[in-house]
Chains A and B, each alone.
Chain A
Amino acid sequence: MTRHGNRGLRLYTTLYLAFLYLPVLLLPIFSFNDSIYVALPIKGLTLQWWSEMAAQTGMHTALANSLVVAVPVAFASTSLGLVAVLALFGRERLPGAPLVTGLFTLPLVVPYIILGIALLILFNRSGIGLSLFSVGFGHTLICTPFALFVLMSRFEGLDPSLAEAALDLGETPWMAFWRVTFPIVLPGVMASLLLTFTISFDEFLLAFFLTGNDSTLPLYIFSQLRFPAKLPAVLALGSAILLATFAIVIVAERLRRRGLGSTGNTD
């Protein structure tokens, strides 16, 4: 590539980044705008919408529900992913490994609406019924593949000989895992916990189909979109969620890549 093409591509990628970020950044900008309408020009700065948002009791309940779902989902899907990676990872290929990996990829490619109605029928026909538990079950299903792939990237930097050396030195498999493998993959485990938490916390469509009477935060936002007067408070709530998500994902990405060599030049 010539110098010219190089600069053109850099400009394009920068514009592409702007296209990706600007819509998202509008929410925080207009959450401070002193107007009930989301329109330019900005009228003035106000904290009114943020205090209005913080005072909504419905929001508090929805936030609590979201946490009640997302925290167990993060631990469940990360544990399931970790155990599955331990089984898949080894010096010898596991017979049937491509089939197993394919099965784990399925929740990522099946449209959520199909997954949503299929699980709705399952919970309804089995008599379990709809509640925050069914939401959590659906979220665990879609988060486990993410946990698996995040952990896999961590395990790829790890040589099975390390744990084998521990076994040869007389450790039990259980202790070899806790004292050798787990400390090395711990950053990956933390990253997986954070990312699966975020996926569950932000997920709308499965929760839409699988919840009983309880609202999670995205469902609460969706219900508020019908009322134009509540729009600015929704903007404030959305901005708070965006901020939290950004912070969590940045920490997770740093953790995921720590010690893998890729961030060696920045640390």
Chain B
Amino acid sequence: MGGTRLHPDTCHSETSLRLDQSPPKSGEQGLDSSIARRLIVIQTYNTTILQEGNRIVASTATGPATGLLTRHWPQHPVIGRYALLSPALLLMLAGLLMPVLLLVGQSFVVESPEGWHAGLANYAAVLEGPQYQRVLARSIAVAALVATLTVLLAYPAAYFIAFEVSGNKMTWLILITLPFWTSYLLRVFAWKLILGFNGVINSALVYMGLIDAPLEFLLHNTFAVIVTLAHAWAAFAILPIFVSLQKIDRSLLEAAQDLGEGPAMTFLRVTLPLSMPGVISAFLLVFIPTVGDYVTPKLVGGPNGIMIGSLIQFSFGQLENWPLGSAIAVLAMLVVTALVCLFLWTASRARRLVA
């Protein structure tokens, strides 16, 4: 919006002047020249608004600037705004923090024929049972693989939309995120149909005469789990990467080119480091929910594909041992939180070393 000017005469002598200098939003490039501007000036006794269509391009204001609805609580604007926030905050406290505390409490419940008491027996059972550690380690390995694969697959697509598409970025973004809104259960189910023993891939290969008998390694294993999850979480990876690429100041890239860097080195030394925040949040957004996934291992994982979510569900379901299931869940949460912190710490150290 480089052409925006607010005429000095419209400014009050003691006003604070706000000019909209935000970088152009996606898809806006070239809009200014193509659409004739309709500027409207709204003036009240202490506010001047310069409006273009229904977008504010500049405004001046005097007097106390406060929240939107809370000007009539001048003494306690903050309290007024927190009063507005309270219903949603209450839901988060009652629906998130309290249940998680109850879950932690439940994990210390030791049931016996005489009743129950608090103890560490559930944690001891989990820590002593090698099968729990094996499944947790495998869940973490699978989730890390899925997150890496998803980020690697998503990065070039995000790069393409951010740098190579000029007019209709939104159309591309909506196209890419649309499947993400469809039922997760149905998407996983679709992969079961594709990879199955008599599924789409096998029947097609047999029909074309490329194989004699259906391939058994497609379904009911870790491979199937990884492919399915990399598909299911694609949108979670592509959006943060796209946002971080979109934020990159294009003049930095020009500067690198002007200083003699080739396209490959410009990417490695400018674009990639600047997009790392997006890559890191994409990795975590895929990694964290994947560790606890239940549907995918259940439908396409087979007996050897079970993950920690399957064990938690089993403890709460068939086993009816809620305290044990809670202990597994709490330990899994602790391990994942520790890993995420370690990952973020390593990432920030690496960035400081590079810079």
Contacts and interface: CB of A to CB of B under 8 A. Distances in A.
Interface of A: 1-2, 5-6, 9-10, 12-13, 16-17, 19-21, 23-24, 26-27, 30, 37-41, 80-81, 83-84, 86-92, 94-95, 100, 103-104, 106-107, 109-115, 117-122, 125, 137-138, 140-141, 144, 148, 157-165, 167-169, 172-173, 176-177, 181, 184, 195, 198-199, 202, 204-205, 209, 218, 221-222, 225, 234, 238, 241-242, 245-246, 249-250, 253, 257, 259-266
B294 A117 contact: no
B279 to A, nearest CB: 17
Contacts of A177: 68-69
A198 B182 CA distance: 8
A154 to B, nearest CB: 12
B210 interface: no
26 contacts: A1-B164, A5-B263, A10-B164, A12-B157, A13-B161, A24-B190, A26-B194, A38-B196, A41-B207, A87-B83, A92-B77, A103-B89, A113-B293, A114-B100, A117-B103, A119-B95, A148-B88, A163-B68, A168-B47, A184-B54, A225-B189, A242-B183, A261-B25, A262-B170, A264-B35, A266-B168
Contact of A181 (B68, B157, B163, B332): B68
Contacts, number: 312
Contact of A167 (B27, B71, B95): B71
Contacts of A176: 69
Interface string B301-318: 000000001001100100
Interface in B265-286: 284-285
Interface stretch (B3-11, B59-67, B215-223, B341-349): B59-67
Interface of B: 25-28, 31, 34-35, 42, 44-47, 49, 53-56, 59, 61, 65-72, 77-78, 81-85, 87-89, 91-92, 95-96, 98-100, 102-103, 106, 153-154, 156-157, 159-161, 163-164, 167-168, 170-172, 174-176, 178-179, 181-187, 189-191, 193-194, 196, 198-200, 202-204, 207, 231, 234, 263, 284-285, 288-289, 291-295, 299, 309, 312-313, 316, 322, 325-326, 329, 332-333
Contacts of B154: 16
Nearest to B264: A5
A199 B292 CA distance: 19
B355 to A, nearest CB: 24
A100 to B, nearest CB: 6
A144 B91 contact: yes
B178 A249 contact: yes
- The residue among A30, A114, A172 with the most chain B CB atoms within 10 A of its own CB is A114
Contact of B200 (A39, A88, A118, A165): A39
B350 to A, nearest CB: 22
Contacts of B168: 265-266
A205 to B, nearest CB: 6
B309 A111 contact: yes
- The residue among A41, A161, A173, A265 with the most chain B CB atoms within 10 A of its own CB is A161
Contacts of A92: 65-67, 77
Contacts of A39: 198-200, 202-203
A100 B185 contact: no
A106 B89 CA distance: 12
B34 to A, nearest CB: 7
A262 B26 contact: yes
A122 B98 contact: yes
A40 B203 contact: yes
Nearest to A8: B156
Contacts of A222: 185
A139 to B, nearest CB: 10
Contacts of B185: 202, 204, 218, 221-222
